[in-house]
């Protein structure tokens, strides 16, 4: 791992802690309870994609929250700069994380495969006995 990658991972880690703190300081209920699942910075650390947990929001609320987050982006940058003493903070892009849905879908597929495999083995045992 290069020095640049180490710095980028360090910034991502710090942002995962700072952003929920910044959200909670806002007066908007749609935003102040959002959880940050992950942060991915660009190579130069000038941009950061923030993945948010969407488990407690419906589609309409997600859209409203993203719209509001775009409006308070500069405030969030300033909060991060002041908290860490940085000269500049990355420009944030917010998305709701769909990873949990994908993981649960994959787990369901594995369960289906396992159940089919076990039922196939049972049917083979029954055919061998006859």
Instruction: Convert the pLDDT of each residue in 81-120 to its tens digit.
Output: 999 988 989 999 999 887 766 777 888 888 888 888 887 7
Q: Which residues of 84-114 are buried (b: 16+ CB within 10 A; e: fewer)?
A: eeeeebbebbbebbeeeeeeeeeeeeeeeee
Domain locations along the chain: 3-97, 98-130
- Inform me whether the pLDDT recorded for 130 exceeds 60: no
Asked whether residue 14 carries a pLDDT value surpassing 90, the answer given is yes
- CA angle in degrees (0–180, nearest 5) for 43-101-12: 25
Look at residue 100 in the predicted model and tell me its pLDDT. Answer: 67
Dihedral sign, Cα of residue 67, residue 53, residue 99, residue 37:
positive
| CATH superfamily placement of domain 3-97 | K homology (KH) domain (3.30.300.20)
Tokens of 68: 């509001």
């Amino acid at each position: 791992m290069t020095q640049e990658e180490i710095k980028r991972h360090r910034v991502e880690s710090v942002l995962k802690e700072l952003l929920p703190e910044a959200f909670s300081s806002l007066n908007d209920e749609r935003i102040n309870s959002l959880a940050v699942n992950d942060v991915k910075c660009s190579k130069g650390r000038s941009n950061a994609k923030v993945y948010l947990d969407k488990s407690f929001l419906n589609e309409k609320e997600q859209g409203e929250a993203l719209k509001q987050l775009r409006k308070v982006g500069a405030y969030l940058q300033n909060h991060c700069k002041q908290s860490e003493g940085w000269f500049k903070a990355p420009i944030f892009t917010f998305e709701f994380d769909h990873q949990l849905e994908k993981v649960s879908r994959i787990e369901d597929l594995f369960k289906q495969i396992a159940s089919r495999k076990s039922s196939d083995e049972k049917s083979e045992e029954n055919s061998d006995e006859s």
